[in-house]
Amino acid sequence: MKDRFLLNYRVSGIKNLTDEVSLSFYKKTITAPIHTEEYNIKGIYGVNGSGKSAILESVNIMRSLMTDSNYLNDPMVQKNLNEIINKKISRLSISADFLVKDFFLNGSKNIYLFRYNINLIKNAAERYIIDEEKLLYKRATSRKDVLDTLIHIKDGEVIEIYNEEDDLKEYFIKKTMNLLSNSSALASYLEVMSNSDKFKNRLVSSLGMCILALNIVAENIYIYMDQSDNHINYFLGDILLGEKELDFTTIINQAKRLNANRLNIFHTNFDTVEKNAYSKYESIVKRLCNFIKIFKPELSGIDIDRKENGDMYVCSLNMVYDNYSISTEFESTGIKKLIKLFIYLDIMTKGGIVFIDELDSNLHDVYLCALLEYLMDFGRGQLCFTTHNVGPMDILKKHKKSIDFLSVDNKIYSWTSNGNYSPSKLYRTGMIEGSPFNIDSIDFIGIFDTDEED
């Protein structure tokens, strides 16, 4: 396996997901050798409103909590949480299991299973805070069911820290007093220890290495949300109307925090690129051009129009054809979607964990199937995507754990091979449990063919 792999993911309390939804990405029993490459893609199917996008939004929240110690202190984040956390229970619970190679020891073949649990609740001040947080681990192939607790936080207090010396434990507790309700222990631990001359070398301790490993894993999780589920502009407007004293830089930083794990490398209007990163940007654009040529062979190149702005370049991309060029802003919707997805697909091929919402929207079925087949065979990372397109099912069914159906009552039903049956055919005819597609054209009689005049 590669350095990291998402093994299981569980969430409840976001949008319409009241009960826990559980996704499994690998076989139940973990034995050596571990072949995660045979489980590197999952497609999540479900009717509109079943909660597919909600699952991806929760991954976004988990990743932000693990990596950003100030995440919950951002008013824009609080407004976002207030809108998307389930109103019925006002509690968000997330749990994820990761397989992680011991990449801190050269040549080590050890693989560990880490379980990260975090719960958010609304306090008396109507703000979402961390109610409980746990990090546990064990050797991945160990037969024992119980995991050892690395760190446990409850009601903002440290309940347990694994194998740490008393002076370090006391220092961490002192530095995080009254803070761990608003900042995750994972993000806080690295921040506290890195800023201490006395204790920063203790990051090589067992706990420090584990937290650093999980931080690296979280930094390599990326989520692409469909435009209709990207609420940045909505919350920016809300902030501007309600907080008129905020300066422009603060507002921009808040927007970046809410969108931190989305790879906004290529926009369809302009990109801002640091000057010292421009050569890398150029090389990515060249590879992007080769990628788009697969779908539009008549494309001869992509030109970068750049303008200086302090330490940055403001860049716009122009698609060059034989007799004309056109800004990417005016390209077809499908090509613009491919431009935005390119960097996510690139990250997946290099070992990252990528979630894409509505992967099929604006993409031709033939393109989509070819892309997925390539990623299944050659992608070194992990891809989980939501979709309505049944076309890729016959590609996905080649791998186990690659097709999940989210029912109208928010339950997950995984596809299992059943002779020569086609999952796409069964899905269309409503034969998949929890999928209400057993409708016929005659069901629409009386809806449109009324005799009454408008």
- The pLDDT of residue 252 is 43
What is residue 301's three-state secondary structure?
Answer: strand
CA distances from 358 to 56, 198, 236, 239 (A): 11, 48, 24, 28
* DSSP, residue by residue, 387-413: E---TTHHHHTTSTT-EEEE-TTS-EE
| DSSP conformation class of 381 | S
Q: Which sequence spans correspond to the domains of the chain? A: 4-258, 269-330
For residues 423-435, average pLDDT: 79
Whether residue 33 is preceded by a cis peptide bond, meaning omega within 30 degrees of 0, is yes
Taking all residues of the chain, what is their mean pLDDT, rounded to a whole number? 85
Q: What is the pLDDT of residue 106?
A: 46
Averaged pLDDT, 232-257:
46
Determine the pLDDT at residue 251.
43
Band the pLDDT of 239: cuts 50, 70, 90: very low
**8 A C-beta contact, residue 210 and residue 114:** yes
CA distances from 116 to 41, 89, 95, 359 (A): 22, 21, 6, 27
- Residue 320 burial (CB count, 10 A): 14
pLDDT in tens, 356-412: 999 998 898 999 999 999 999 999 999 999 999 999 998 999 888 999 999 888 889
Per-residue pLDDT of 337-356, as tens digits, reads 999 899 999 999 999 999 99
- How confident is the model over 297-327, as pLDDT tens digits? 999 999 999 999 999 999 999 999 998 999 9
User: What is the mean pLDDT of the segment spanning 97-122?
Assistant: 84
Q: How many Cβ atoms are within 10 Å of 248's Cβ, its own excluded? A: 8
